[in-house]
Amino acid sequence: MFRNQYDTDVTTWSPAGRLFQVEYAMEAVKQGSAAIGLRSKTHVVLASVNKANSELSSHQKKIFKVDDHIGVGIAGLTADGRVLSRYMRSECINYSYSFESPLPVGRLVVQLADKAQVCTQRSWKRPYGVGLLVGGLDESGAHLYYNCPSGNYFEYQAFAIGSRSQAAKTYLERKFENFMDSSREDLLKHALFALRETLQGEKLTSSICTVSVLGAGEAFHILDQETVEALINAFEVGAEEGPTDEGAAADQGGGATDQGAASADEGVAAMDI
């Protein structure tokens, strides 16, 4: 019977040049409920879908404040996500203790990626099973990064991770070109629409999502449920199968869909090691 000979530990290469354990870790990211992020010049919005394990339980927290200027959204093993956000929080606190200024986001992301990388090269360790969307603001502007269990990281204008994130990615790819100059409200709107895409027909309500914002003059914070509810109503995101082109200004027209589909494939390729 066939059995994969090269996936029993992290540090063993397959003849094809792959590290199966690392790839499995990246699969774990896809199992988690979706998290999305998008940014303009000045703001970052992170949002996630809350999936409770059972009717009787509450859902797990998927968006964490790291500092006033940094927040993360996670998909995958939430326990690993918590450990990594705790690490990021302490890095931020230590940096501001020494320098009395906020830690540049890009640097934190590199430190985080290096930490993840170590787990792909030690036989007694296991890669983190979590993908992190790191949003932040520093002197070079607003940033959104995706951090992956392999130790790779990418900077994005907008991105989605977790289960059925492809639908959200397709939506974001169709709209992202206007994000740079978008207002905070527009970002929130697109975040909610993108989030709805991952629900596949299920109605988007404030109880099944978490939305957070940070930006120039606005410290990272998670919006309370009433605010999210109000936004959903204002943008009519809750409407069943409503037109995704709500606010036609952001739409590209017919050709954009194809373009979106084409680059969606590229998006998948980027996920590979």
Partner 1 sequence: MNSVDSIPAKNSLLSSQAESERTLYPYVTGTSVIGIKYNDGILLVADMGGSYGSTLRYKSVERLKPVGKHSLIGGGGEISDFQEILRKLDELILYDNMWDDGNSLGPKEVHSYLSRVMYNRRNKFDPFWNSLVLGGMKKGQKYLGTVNMIGVHYEDNHVATGFGNHLAQPILRDEWHENLSFEDGVKLLEKCMRVLLYRDRSAINKLQIAKITEEGITISQPYALKTFWNFSAFQNPTLGAEGSW
Partner 2 sequence: MTKQQANWSPYDNNGGTCVAIAGADYCVIAADTRMSTGYSILTRDYSKISKLADKSMMASSGFQADVRALQKLLAARHSIYQHQHNKQMSCPAMAQLLSNTLYYKRFFPYYAFNVLGGLDNEGKGCVFTYDAVGSYERVGYSSQGSGATLITPFLDNQLKSPSPLLLPAQDAVTPLSESEAIDLVKTCFVSATERDIYTGDKLEIVILNADGICREYMDLRKD
**First-residue to last-residue Cα distance in the chain:** 28
Q: How many residues does the chain have?
A: 273
Q: Select the binding partner of residue 93 from partner 2, partner 1, none (C-beta < 5 to 8 A, by kind).
A: partner 2
How many Å apart are CA 114 and CA 6, to the nearest integer?
A: 24
Q: Select the binding partner of residue 256 from partner 1, partner 2, none (C-beta < 5 to 8 A, by kind).
A: none
Ranges within 27-66 binding partner 2 (CB under 8 A): 65
Q: Which of 51, 89, 115, 164 binds partner 2 (CB under 8 A)?
A: 89
Instruction: Confirm or reject binding of residue 67 to partner 2 (CB under 8 A).
Output: yes
Binding mask 138-177 for partner 1 (x = CB under 8 A): xxx-------------------------------------
Ranges within 91-130 binding partner 2 (CB under 8 A): 93, 96-97
Cβ distance to partner 2 smaller for residue 97 or 124: 97
**What is the spatial order of strands in the sheet that 141-147 belongs to?**
63-67, 70-76, 130-138, 141-147, 153-155
Supply 184's token pair: 């905070």
Q: Which of 99, 249, 254, 266 binds partner 1 (CB under 8 A)?
A: 99
For residue 109, the SS3 value is helix
> 39 - beta bridge partners?
44
Q: Which of 98, 240, 248, 253 binds partner 1 (CB under 8 A)?
A: 98
* Binding piece for partner 2, criterion CB under 8 A, among 13-21, 89-97, 211-219, 254-262: 89-97
For residue 243, the SS3 value is coil
Total of residues contacting partner 2 (CB under 8 A): 6
How many angstroms separate the Cα of 231 from the Cα of each of 87, 183, 190, 202, 206?
32, 14, 11, 18, 9
For residue 171, the SS3 value is helix
Residue ranges binding partner 1 (CB under 8 A): 97-101, 104, 106-107, 110, 138-140
